[in-house]
Amino acid sequence: MSNLYISVNRTVRLIFLFLTMNSRPKSGQAAPPTESKKANFALPPKERSLWPTTTCLVLGLQRVCLAVLLLCLLRAPGFSRDKDRLNILLCFAGDWGRYASAYASIESHPSPNQVVKTPHIDRIARNGVLFRNAFVNAPSCAPSRSALLSGRYFFKTGRGAILQGARWDDRIPSFPLLLLDAGYHIGETWKVWSPGTPNDAPFGAGQYAYEKAGGAFNNFSENVTRMVGEGTPLGAAKEKLLAEVRGNFEAFLARRKSAQPFLYWFGPTLVHRVWAKGSGRALWGIEPESLKGKLPRFLPDVPEVRQDFADYLGEIQAWDAGVGVLLKKLEEIGELERTLIVASGDHGAPGFPGGKCNLYDFGVGVTLAVWWPGQKGGRVVDDFVNLMDLAPTFLEVGGVKPPEGMNGRSLVKVLQSKRSGLVDPTRTWVVTGRERHVGAAREGNLPYPHRALRTADFLYIRNFQPDRWPMGAPYAVTATSAPPAEGLDLVSETLAYFPDMGASPTKAWLVAHRHDPQWKWHYDYAFGKRPFEELYDLHQDPDQVNNVAADPAYQAKKAKLAEQLMKILTEAGDPRVTGDGQTFERSPFTDIGAGPGRPSKRKID
């Protein structure tokens, strides 16, 4: 602001000098006096009387020009006064894939979205925009969040590109701190960026945390189940945890200056495992049998898996209830109509085949609902969005110029459009990828490097090291033996086998049935080694289980997609395809070590 004011003032001074020069006496005429020569001034009375008038007119014109230019400046794109800038509420859940009841009405096939109930997420979508094709950049917590916070591809965030052993590079600008510098009141509750060092570094490393009201909401099903077992009515137990959400948000709002725009990050981890077994039915009335015939093909449609997925949906409904608390508070204080509200998650479902740590839609596809007050609501948009696009979007909303190095593209024009379907004809693809998740998943702490190009018609995946296990080494699981099934769904058992898939009842069931002919392909799909290239025809195979990369009929298409992917990665400077391609194969990316985090049930997965 100060630099722009100086530039405007200099321009006006130049105008002033030009006008005063042209208002001076002509050649041969006596000049007007300076203070030291007033006594000798002998200009005729008539002309002398015109000089002050001319000077006043010029000075007046200077002030008018300055006022007009400053008014234009205030109205210019990229600059807003505090009272005109929107608040930003980002509701960001761990492990929340594309599951919300708002999607049920736009899907043409049986789906869990026909079972889950998310009235508050649906309200955001109903009053704003629901995106069909929103994807994270990486299906692993820290890298996904590194991309979102920086607006860069995950592979451009240094050690932020890995999970265990992640370290934030403070030379990389992050949108929360840029908004802070621009006058926003910022705050966060629970998880922003972790595990990593320093914890939540891109949001001030805990300086702006509001968590004193409690954190039991993060273990929602476990705590409610415990309280109910101790005699607390179900409704009262839920309300006790939702009161934490309310209390933390109110503490944040209480620190805000009058009319100051704010950014609040609501980041609970309840959708992340572990969950109380059977809690989907017990706490939310979700009958596992209601999912029969609605699970994707790669999940065994058996009672154990249906119950596990019902519990996942139950945590999503608890998450939705927390979002509802925030919406209600915004209404109470009269801020709902001046707050941009965004709801999304950091990747797909944990502990299920094809989910977290995979580049299939089940792993990288997420919910994205955005409510911009005053803009047309009820739109369903087909534009492809990478969540790193949110960083430049928030900066534009806050009147901040995005810094150099951002790969994301602002969604402001898409959000302000009145159209549904494809709004921006250039948004027809996204690139996703992963390097290392759990450090000890493979010998030598090596990553599983893969990248993918997703378009409306195809998913192309490049697995750079097909000799490695995608979900980590089998370790305790061999052809003839495995740990006892009754212990395999405990969180402490994640590292016992295939460490890049979190421990779960579904994972345990797959291992127990790995030799059953009916289910063996599910086991191989989940844990088996994968070829150098994968290609899925999404019109024929929406669940992405039939790899046609070797099919002669698809060779031309595969070659075109491969070329496009490599071109994008090369131009973006992906270390996996530039230089010697070995950056992620050596120290510090292969070092073991998890950054300190806040006490939580959440382990390293």
Reported as type and span, the H/E element at residue 368 is strand 368-371
Q: What percent of the chain has pLDDT over 90?
A: 77
Amino acid at 67: A
Q: Please give the Cα distance from 27 to 106 (Å, whole number).
A: 81
Q: Which of the two residues, 127 and 494, has the higher pLDDT score?
A: 127
Q: Domain 86-426 class?
A: alpha beta
Q: Please give the Cα distance from 429 to 410 (Å, whole number).
A: 15
Q: What is the pLDDT of residues 123-170, one digit of tens each?
A: 999 999 999 999 999 999 999 999 999 999 999 999 999 988 899 999
* Composition of the chain by helix, strand, coil, percent to 5: 45, 10, 45
Cβ(193)–Cβ(597) below 8 Å = no
Gyration radius of the chain over CA positions? 29
Q: Please give the Cα distance from 481 to 471 (Å, whole number).
A: 19
pLDDT (average), residues 308-314: 98
pLDDT at 593 (0 to 100): 57
- What's the number of CA atoms in the CB half-sphere (13 Å) around residue 542? 8
Reported as type and span, the H/E element at residue 66 is helix 45-75
- Label each residue of 158-189 as H, E or C: HHHHCCCCCECCCCCCCHHHHHHHCCCEEEEE
Do the bridges between strand 87-93 and strand 262-267 make them parallel or antiparallel, or are there none, so unpaired? Answer: parallel
Lowest pLDDT segment from 140-149, 155-164, 373-382, 482-491: 482-491
pLDDT (average), residues 309-318: 98
- Spell out the domain ranges in the chain: 86-426, 439-585
pLDDT band per the 50, 70, 90 thresholds, residue 171: very high
Q: Please give the Cα distance from 597 to 154 (Å, whole number).
A: 21
Q: Please give the Cα distance from 345 to 91 (Å, whole number).
A: 8
Q: Which of the two residues, 449 and 71, has the higher pLDDT score?
A: 449
Give, rounded to a whole angstrom, the gap between the first and last alpha carbons of the chain.
45
How far lies 224's CA from each of 185, 305, 432, in Å? Answer: 33, 22, 36
Q: What is the largest CA-CA distance in the chain?
A: 116
Q: What percent of the chain has pLDDT over 70?
A: 83
Q: What is the pLDDT of residues 549-596, one digit of tens each?
A: 999 999 999 999 999 999 999 999 999 999 999 999 999 999 975 433
How deeply is 541 buried, as exposed, middle or buried, from its count of CB atoms within 10 A (0-12, 13-18, 19+)?
A: middle
Q: Please give the Cα distance from 191 to 195 (Å, whole number).
A: 9
pLDDT at 486 (0 to 100): 65
The token pair at 303 is 């009672």
DSSP structure string for 299-348: S--SHHHHHHHHHHHHHHHHHHHHHHHHHHHHHHTT-GGGEEEEEEESSS
**pLDDT > 90? residue 84:** no
Cβ(356)–Cβ(510) below 8 Å = no
